[in-house]
Amino acid sequence: MGDLATYSLADFVAVTPEVYLRLFARQNVQLWPSQLVTVVIGFVLLYCARCKDFRYGHLGLAVVWVWSGITFHFNLYAELNWAAIYFGYGFFGQALLHCLREYVGSRQEEPEAFEWNLGIAVAGFSLILYPLIVVVFGNSWTGIQLFGTAPPTTALATVGFITATRRPRWFLMIIPVIWCAISSLQCLAMGLYWGLIPGVVAVGAVMTAFFEDRKTDG
C-alpha cells in the first residue's frame, strides 16, 4: 500500500495527449455521418426535457450510452488502455439503468424549477458549447467531441438531463459523474486543462441539485 503514495496521476495514463485527442478524430472519421443522428437525438432530448416531458427520453440515453461505449471504449480506447474494456462495460451498465428507469416510470412530481434550469443549462452546454471549447483550445475540428459518441460529452449531457427530469434519479448519476471525473483526471495528467470542464461541471451540478433536494425535502 505504501507504494501507492509514490504513484502520480500520469502513471495511470498510458497515452500521450496527441494520441488521446486523435482517438476522437478517428472515431469521428469512422462514424461519419452517423454523428448527425446522435446529435439530433441530443437536441430532441433537450427539447423534451425543456417541455418537462421526458417520456422515452431514457431510452434515447440508453441508445447513446451503448453507442459511445462500443465505438469509443471497445473499438478504439481498448487497444491503448487495458481499463477501457471496463469503462465500456460501465457504459453498458448505464444504458441498462436508463432502460430500468424508463420501465419504472417516475413519481408524479414536477422537477423543481432551479434543478430544471440547472439541468437544461448543463445539457445545453454539453450539446453546443463544450464541443466548441475543444476546438477553441487549438484542437482540430475532426476531433470535436460530440454528444452520443464522445464519452465525456455524453456523460456530462446525461448529468444535465437527469438533473432536469423527475425523480427517482440519483442512481442514474453515479456512472456519468464517475466517467466525467475519470475523463477530467486523465486530461489533467496530460496537461489538457480544458478537459477538466466535464468533471467540474458534473460534480458541481450534482452537488447543487443534491442540496436543493434536501432543502425541498426538508
Partner 1 sequence: MSDAQISRRTMLGGMLGGLATAALWPPSLFAGTDRKLITEPIPSTGEHIPVVGMGTWQTFNVGNDRRLRDARTQVLKAFFELGGSVIDSSPMYGSSHEVVGYGLDKLDKHDRVFSADKVWTRSDSEARPQMEETKDEWGIEFFDLMQVHNLLAWEKRLPMLLDLKASGHIRYVGVTTSHGRRHDALEKIMRTRDIDFVQLSYSLANREAEQRLLPLAKERGIAVIANRPFRQGHLVDRFQDNNHPLPEWASEFGCNNWPQFLLKFIVSHPAVTCAIPATTKVEHMRENMLAARGALPGDKMRERMIGYVESL
Q: CB of 179 within 8 A of CB of 158?
A: no
Q: What CA–CA distances, in Å, run from 103 to 31, 39, 145?
A: 30, 24, 30
Residue 140 near partner 1 by CB under 8 A: no
Taking the least distance from each CB to partner 1, the nearer of 83 and 128 is: 83
| Among positions 35, 38, 71, 81, the unique one binding partner 1 when judged by CB under 8 A | 81
Residue 27 near partner 1 by CB under 8 A: no
Residue 82 near partner 1 by CB under 8 A: yes
Query: At closest approach, how far in Å is the CB of 146 from partner 1?
Result: 20
Taking the least distance from each CB to partner 1, the nearer of 81 and 94 is: 81
Query: At closest approach, how far in Å is the CB of 11 from partner 1?
Result: 8
Q: Which three cell numbers stand for residue 56?
A: 422515452
Taking the least distance from each CB to partner 1, the nearer of 3 and 110 is: 3
* HEC assignment per residue over 158-187: HHHHHHHCCCCCHHHHHHHHHHHHHHHHHH
Taking the least distance from each CB to partner 1, the nearer of 83 and 178 is: 83
Which amino acid makes up residue 54? F
Q: Concatenated DSSP letters for 50-75?
A: HTT--TTHHHHHHHHHHHHIIIIIIT
Under the rule (CB under 8 A), what is the footprint of partner 1?
3, 6-7, 10-11, 13-16, 18-19, 22, 26, 76, 79-82
